[in-house]
Amino acid sequence: MGGVGRVGRTPLPGGGVRYDLVTRERRRVAVVARPDGSRTLSVYRGDHCDDTAVSLELDADEAAAVVSALLPSHHTPNLLSTAELGLVAERIEVPSASPWDGRVLGDTRMRTETGVSVVAVLRRAEAIPSPGPGFRLAGGDTLIVIGTREGVGVAAGILGRTGP
């Protein structure tokens, strides 16, 4: 795991991601994020992950409420809290060997089929805001999307298809 305040990211078999961090106070924290939106939040006593002080299982709505409470939107009225609106913001990765590699975003019909909006694409060290339907996807891109939990799940399925 990284140094103080750094977040490590580990993909998990069967889907999901484990995020590990060490706080400024040198406390180890882990979050296991599952594709269905549920989360496990664990805080450890010592350096070993078997020494758990607290572990919380959160369903998608509970996790969204905790995230919303931690975000600056509770302190900055101009920021929008998607959880209060029944929306989620998620990252969806385009697999490196994706059939969408080199095709335009509009070909996915993601917005039409799911109502999900792609608000940005992360490509290498660059963020591309508000990509239009003519934006060419590349394997390894990460799409930042906003929509309902169900819509985001369907959008992830579209990008995971073996063929368009």
Q: Three-state DSSP class for 43?
A: strand
For range 106-131, the mean pLDDT = 93
Is 115 part of a structural domain of the chain? yes
CB 117 within 8 A of CB 145: yes
How far is residue 147's CA from residue 113's CA, in Å, rounded to a whole number?
12
Provide the domain count of the chain: 2
Residue 58 parent element (H or E): strand 52-58
CATH code assigned at 120:
3.30.70.1450
Is 76 part of a structural domain of the chain? no
Q: What are phi and psi of 83, to 5 degrees?
A: -60, -40
The proportion of the chain whose per-residue pLDDT surpasses 70, expressed as a percent, equals 84
Is 78 part of a structural domain of the chain? no
Domain containing residue 138: 87-160
pLDDT of residue 45: 86
The reply to whether 108 and 43 lie within a common domain is no
The reply to whether 66 and 120 lie within a common domain is no
The reply to whether 116 and 66 lie within a common domain is no
